[in-house]
């Protein structure tokens, strides 16, 4: 299970639609529907045609975010929406594939989400907050396991916070390792029990 952080616009301009319509979205709205694009190279060609004035560095960064949004994030993955209207994150579970639908004037590219709960930023230790405060529109939280535990724990926030503080350094080190077996081992033996709190 992964945790994706998806922002609702630089100033939260898509937040209301995201929360009310149970979705996450991105704001590259000049792009047409790209659901038929199955390779990153094909999507790159569409992106460069749509945004011809962007530098190669911008193309790489933004295309990577769009690709993660549509193809790397999976149904059942957790998603965190940093809220601008309050000092909190809305957590949900992705329940739909990428789709193109005009839900609002600035909401067209979306993934349907089942919102689980809203968690105040004050619940999180600093290292988890840091990992979730990327300036990118779409990113993967590097300590996704700890944060997903907060998202799915309904009543034991204080106990969870103690466990996160205790495990956060080792989780960060293990979850950031390129060794997928070690990462899966950590998820199975440390993270899943935390989620069950």
CB under 8 A, 24+ apart: contacts of 166-174: 167/194, 168/125, 168/127, 168/128, 168/143, 169/127, 171/143, 171/145, 171/146, 172/127, 172/131, 172/142, 172/143
Residue whose token pair is 């989780």: 171
Partner residues linked to 29 by β-bridges: none
Q: How confident is the model at residue 119 (pLDDT cuts 50, 70, 90)?
A: confident
Read off the pLDDT of each residue in 13-35 and give the average, rounded to a whole number.
96
Q: Which two tokens stand for residue 158?
A: 């204080």
Domain ranges in the chain? 3-141
pLDDT above 60 (res 58): yes
* CA atoms of 76 and 182, how far apart (whole Å): 22
CATH architecture of 3-141: Roll (3.10)
More confident residue, 197 or 120: 120
- Model confidence pLDDT, tens digit, residues 67-111: 999 999 999 999 999 999 999 999 999 999 999 999 999 999 999
Whether residue 8 contacts residue 18, with contact meaning beta carbons closer than 8 Å, is answered with yes
Closest C-alpha among 16, 14, 163, 153 to residue 78? 153
pTM of the model: 0.72
pLDDT above 80 (res 62): yes
């Amino acid at each position: 299970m992964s945790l994706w952080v998806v922002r609702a616009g630089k100033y939260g301009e898509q937040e209301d639609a995201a929360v009310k319509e149970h979705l996450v979205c991105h704001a590259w709205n000049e792009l047409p529907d790209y659901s038929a694009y199955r390779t990153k190279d094909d999507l790159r060609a569409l992106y460069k045609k749509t945004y011809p004035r962007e530098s190669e560095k911008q193309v790489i960064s933004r295309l990577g975010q769009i690709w993660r949004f549509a193809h790397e994030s999976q149904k059942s993955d957790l998603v965190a929406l940093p809220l601008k209207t309050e000092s909190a994150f809305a957590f949900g579970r992705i329940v739909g594939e990428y789709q193109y639908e005009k839900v609002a004037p600035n909401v067209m590219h979306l993934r349907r989400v089942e919102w689980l709960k809203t968690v105040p930023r004050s619940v999180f230790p600093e290292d988890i907050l840091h990992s979730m405060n990327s300036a990118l529109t779409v990113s993967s939280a590097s300590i996704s396991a700890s944060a997903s535990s907060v998202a799915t724990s309904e009543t034991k926030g204080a106990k969870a916070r103690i466990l996160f503080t205790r495990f956060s350094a080792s989780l960060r080190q293990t979850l950031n390792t390129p060794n997928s077996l070690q990462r899966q081992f950590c998820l199975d033996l440390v993270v899943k029990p935390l989620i069950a709190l």
